[in-house]
A and B are shown apart, each in its own frame.
Chain A
Amino acid sequence: MKRFEFLIEWALFLCALLSIGTTVGIILVLAVETFAFLREVPVTDFLFGTNWTPLFATPSFGVLPLVAGTVMVSAIAMAVALPMGLLSAIYLSEYAPLGVRRMVKPVLEILAGVPTVVYGYFALLFVTPLFQRVLPDLAGFNALSPGIVMGIMILPLVSSLSEDAMQGVPRGLREGAYALGATKMQTSLRVVLPAAFSGITAACILAASRAIGETMIVAIAAGQQPRLTSNPMVPIETMTAYIVQVSLGDTPQGTLEYRTIFAVGMLLFLGTLVLNLVSAWLRARFREEYS
């Protein structure tokens, strides 16, 4: 009987260890191919080059256009999601009556649950034509539409995490402000928001990480023209869309072109990893402050 218990515990332990195996696997797979890639392409060319044409006859492997595309789309997404998400969070946390909350929160969850390929469709075939009426220079593929649609997609994330952070602020702080005659808005903006600051920042960083890693919206609506630009109205290509582009093609294994997707993937992984760790650290510090 004891033997059986021992075996069971070990079997469960091995299952739990699998998650560590996943992380190790990701790092290994990315690292092996990236190192193979970097043996042929100097890392400085890769990281600081401004021309990304790996599939040309005379290829060029500067990843900056892809990074620029990713950053631009994510920045637009954050510009939409941050203020809207924060305002929504303040409203839901401090103002909304129970009935409104019960109606709004499920809808926000639905927004977060729509598959990204559907958002991509929406960005390409509804939002872009809509904006083209107001901005006639807007290209069919651009950074603006997917950016805005992505912002709407991560709005629930910003909203719910920020709301959690604000709910974590003790009642006593609010009551102190009300007792001095402050209105709700003053209390929210000047007492609760600053108190929840690190929690909210953690939420925003996590949302940014999500935006950077997003694939299908940009693969459908942003285009496949890597371009180092700050103009959101022309086609660009993000890191994630590039990986999709190559995966759809017929690139044979073991070639340099094949390895580029892992090199780009490694960059993406490291970028989001840093953001996730910072966010987690901020969240832990926030919890410490108020427990």
Chain B
Amino acid sequence: MTNGQLLDGGAQRAINRRRYLDVLFQALALLILCLALGSLAALIADVWSDGFSRLSWAFLSGFPSRRAADAGIWHALSGSMFVILVTGALAVPVGVASAVYLEEYARRSLMARIIEINITNLAAVPSIIYGLLGLGLFVRAMGMGRSVLAGASTLALLVLPVIILSTREALRAVPPSIREGSYALGASKWQTVWYQVLPVALPGILTGMILALSRAIGETAPLISIGALTFVAFAPDGLWSPFTVLPIQIFNWVSRPQVEFQANAAAGILVLLALLLTMNAAAIWLRDHYQKKLT
């Protein structure tokens, strides 16, 4: 160790070479990440340039037309919002109730294990299969026809696993000391859940709900399967009315060869992305705002 080096020349060179490969590896990984992010940027830029010119109040409030320049998106936008509302109304109570049961009442029972495995599996079933279920069950067997109710029920089943999983996370985050304190005062299990656990878990539950619904609003395949018509040209006027949604209208326009309709599709995509952005921002705001409150 006379000249200030820890190793002899040969060993040191080997280490230097390895370190050089290390740097190369990092560069490669960064390149790949840039490629992925670049694709996202290209996608947004492409949609923006194609569709921005079509965005206007007339577009948002208008109805479809054979002439692309006159076509509007209100029927699909209102359809989407209405379907999502009904989906939420169906899925959230059932989902929260299921999660409460699994987390607070049946923690380690065999039944709970079976239900858990089942939910994990359902979360990975392709969405179009849910569409077939909706078609066979809601549209045909239960006679709902191609209505908003059938569509919302199908989407509700689709997002149920997501809501259950996120609600369970929120329930688990409630400190057990709060439950103990409540039981020690002579509260029953339901009183403890309703008055202590759920209020504390509420922000987490709401965040999960918004995220689940933002997934649902982008779903196309299951609604096509149950027959949400691509040529519905009116806003839905009730639970039993036929309907269409934003993604299906986009799909409709993309499938037309004329360039003008493709511009409409791009504009529709921008509206959809704006909707998603709002919902996700709301979810993030909720989570951060209440995080501060509890600590």
A interface residues with partner B (beta carbon < 8 Å): 1, 4-5, 8-9, 11-13, 15-20, 22-23, 25-26, 28-30, 32-33, 84, 87-88, 90-91, 95, 104, 107-108, 110-111, 113-122, 124-126, 152, 155, 181, 183-186, 206, 209-210, 212-216, 219-220, 240, 243-244, 247-248, 253, 261-262, 265, 268-269, 272-273, 276-277, 280
Contact = CB atoms under 8 A, between A and B. Distances in A.
B254 A16 contact: no
A76 to B, nearest CB: 15
A151 to B, nearest CB: 10
Nearest to B255: A220
Given A15-B101, A118-B43, A185-B21, A243 B132 contact: yes
A152 B39 contact: yes
Contacts of A111: 36, 39-40
Contact of A268 (B129, B227, B262): B129
Interface magnitude class on chain B = 35 or more
A207 B3 CA distance: 54
13 contacts: A16-B115, A22-B133, A84-B36, A108-B36, A113-B276, A115-B272, A118-B250, A122-B42, A216-B220, A216-B251, A219-B221, A269-B125, A272-B124
Among all A-B residue pairs, the 8 with the closest Cβ atoms:
A213-B126, A115-B218, A29-B136, A91-B29, A12-B101, A15-B97, A215-B221, A16-B98
B119 to A, nearest CB: 5
A23 B118 contact: yes
Q: What is the interface of chain A mostly: helix, strand, loop, or mixed?
A: helix
A88 B32 contact: yes
B121 interface: yes
B129 A265 contact: yes
B218 A116 contact: yes
B224 interface: yes
Q: What is the interface of chain B mostly: helix, strand, loop, or mixed?
A: helix
A91 B280 contact: no
A244 B98 contact: no
A55 B263 CA distance: 32
A88 B190 CA distance: 46
Given A117-B247, A118-B218, A210-B126, 4 more contacts: A16-B97, A104-B37, A183-B15, A265-B132
A125 B46 contact: yes
B266 A121 contact: yes
A107 B97 contact: no
A118 B269 contact: yes
A262 B225 CA distance: 11
A169 B32 CA distance: 24
B26 A215 contact: no
Interface in B83-119: 93-94, 97-98, 100-102, 105-106, 112, 114-115, 117-119
Nearest to A32: B136
Contacts of B102: 16
B128 A244 contact: yes
Contacts of A120: 251, 254
B247 A115 contact: yes
